[in-house]
Amino acid sequence: MDIYLFKNRKVESFYPLHFFKNLSDIRIGILTNSKRYGILYNSEPAYLIKLDDILGKGIYIDETFISYTKLSFKQNTILLKDGEIVGYYILNKTAYNKINIKSEIEGIKLEYAYSIIKHNLETIKKDYILLNREYTHSTTDNLILYGEKRNLFICKTVKINGKIIFNTENGPIYIDDNVIFNGFNHIEGPCYIGKDTIVDSVKIRPGCTFGKVNRISGEIEESIFMDYVNKHHIGFIGHSIIGNWVNLGALTTNSDLKNNYHNVRLTIKEKTIDTGMLKMGCIIGDFSKTGIGTLINTGTIAGVSCNIFGSGLTEKFYPSFSWKNSTIMYDTKKAIDTIGITMKRRDVTLDKDTENTLREIIKKERNSNGY
């Protein structure tokens, strides 16, 4: 059967991660949801901006729903998670509002961006089982393993220049192609490190995911770094999401726990949300940067292309294209020029579609004409 992932109706709940990618193409665990369902069903999913009133034969799944259960029903069925519709199983062409059969299915429904942090650790474990990799390395003088060998997978193109401790006692570790380790590194699973990433004297605690072409150092815990993130200096990042092309200045550190041990609250565009999480750090949008020694407050949200710097703790919310603080707007031309230079340093060109999206964000969030 064909697999379809359809656009979630509340994509803005995932601010600021939803601007440049479909939510199904955002990595959680080791895989994106698009890749995950492709492996599960051995068929690449198609993406639907909107469901048609009449659905043909196929499995239709909300892009924010993660499941490892291969579905099979004998009749057209509405798929539910805790009473909420997350998809449709269609054997015979029909209008989806005419289906009477409903079935609860196993899985995780992501509701907000911070949900990715909440579920990342367990998702790494489940993705590792789905991928079914086998241990390929032996312990040597520069590679020490604590835990089971079957929970460590290292691609053959990985280079270890120095010493490294892998600890798989609490979960698996997956090291992808062309990763380079320099100096002394200590990595605890569950953890995924993406292709072409440089790891330089880092302490990685459980529950971390790193996309491709990252530069990472310092201490990191239960966080998700997207692609092309630069954190090549000492500093702590915990229970956070760091967007694509973000640069964290030396000694940038975030708080992920309130002194009163209450749940962390987020502020997004004047709306306050109780995350229900004791630990929650920050969510930083694509192309944003922090200055040297930046101290990020608990539950901070920064939009796209923010340049955050200055003494003291950060504010709790920065709209896109913030300069220093939330009220000053980053000069549009300078911001886009800097993004182009940043990408060129990694041999990537700023394309017109991305530039147009950036200008649309400026118009929407800053009431500017985008130029």
pLDDT digits (tens, 9 = 90+) for 162-219: 999 999 999 999 999 999 999 999 999 999 999 999 999 999 999 999 999 999 999 9
CB atoms within 10 A of CB 148: 11
Instruction: Please report whether residue 223 resides in a domain.
Output: no
Looking at the structure, tell me whether residues 107 and 124 fall in a common domain: no
Residues counted in the chain:
371
Instruction: Please report whether residue 221 resides in a domain.
Output: no
Looking at the structure, tell me whether residues 192 and 289 fall in a common domain: no
Looking at the structure, tell me whether residues 102 and 125 fall in a common domain: no
Q: What does the pLDDT read at residue 138? A: 59
Instruction: Please report whether residue 243 resides in a domain.
Output: yes
Q: What does the pLDDT read at residue 15? A: 96
Give 275-312 as a 3 state SS string: CCCCECCEEECCCCEECCCCEECCCEEECCCCEECCCC
The type of residue at 311 is: S
87: left (phi over 0), alpha (psi -120 to 50) or beta: left
Q: What does the pLDDT read at residue 366? A: 86
Which pair of tokens denotes residue 249? 């200045």
Is 371's pLDDT higher than 70? no
Domain count, the chain: 3
Residue 370's pLDDT band (boundaries 50, 70, 90)?
Answer: low
Is 268's pLDDT higher than 90? no
Mean pLDDT computed over 338-350: 97
Is 139's pLDDT higher than 60? no
CB 232 within 8 A of CB 217: yes
Using the 3D structure, point to which of 111, 133, 163 is the last residue of a domain: 111
Looking at the structure, tell me whether residues 270 and 176 fall in a common domain: no
Looking at the structure, tell me whether residues 242 and 327 fall in a common domain: yes
Is 267's pLDDT higher than 90? no
Q: What is the pTM of this model?
A: 0.95
CA distance 299 to 264: 6
Instruction: Please report whether residue 218 resides in a domain.
Output: no
Mean pLDDT computed over 336-354: 97
Looking at the structure, tell me whether residues 360 and 244 fall in a common domain: yes
What is the percentage of the chain residues whose pLDDT exceeds 70? Answer: 97
Mean pLDDT computed over 42-61: 95
Which pair of tokens denotes residue 294? 């930046």
Looking at the structure, tell me whether residues 178 and 247 fall in a common domain: no
Q: What does the pLDDT read at residue 123? A: 98
Using the 3D structure, point to which of 88, 111, 134 is the last residue of a domain: 111
Which pair of tokens denotes residue 218? 């310092």
Instruction: Please report whether residue 220 resides in a domain.
Output: no
In whole angstroms, how far apart are CA 317 and each of 66, 271, 283, 353?
A: 29, 10, 10, 27
Looking at the structure, tell me whether residues 153 and 104 fall in a common domain: no
**Which position has the token pair 């990694």?**
346
Instruction: Please report whether residue 225 resides in a domain.
Output: no
Using the 3D structure, point to which of 165, 180, 211 is the last residue of a domain: 211
Which pair of tokens denotes residue 363? 């118009």
The CATH number of whichever domain residue 263 belongs to comes to: 2.160.10.10
The CATH number of whichever domain residue 30 belongs to comes to: 3.90.550.30
Instruction: Please report whether residue 276 resides in a domain.
Output: yes
Averaged pLDDT score across all residues of the chain: 95
Q: What does the pLDDT read at residue 136? A: 65
Looking at the structure, tell me whether residues 64 and 42 fall in a common domain: yes
CB 216 within 8 A of CB 223: no
- By C-alpha distance, which of 299, 291, 294 is closest to 317? 299
Is 115's pLDDT higher than 60? yes
Looking at the structure, tell me whether residues 358 and 238 fall in a common domain: yes
Mean pLDDT computed over 232-253: 98
Mean pLDDT computed over 264-283: 92
Instruction: Please report whether residue 227 resides in a domain.
Output: no
Looking at the structure, tell me whether residues 262 and 154 fall in a common domain: no
The three-class DSSP label of residue 107 is coil
Which pair of tokens denotes residue 130? 């789905």
Mean pLDDT computed over 334-359: 96
Which pair of tokens denotes residue 228? 């092309």
Looking at the structure, tell me whether residues 63 and 130 fall in a common domain: no
CA distance 308 to 149: 42
Structural domain boundaries, residue 190: 120-211
Q: What does the pLDDT read at residue 80? A: 97
With 0-12 CB in 10 A as exposed, 13-18 as middle and 19+ as buried, what is 344? exposed
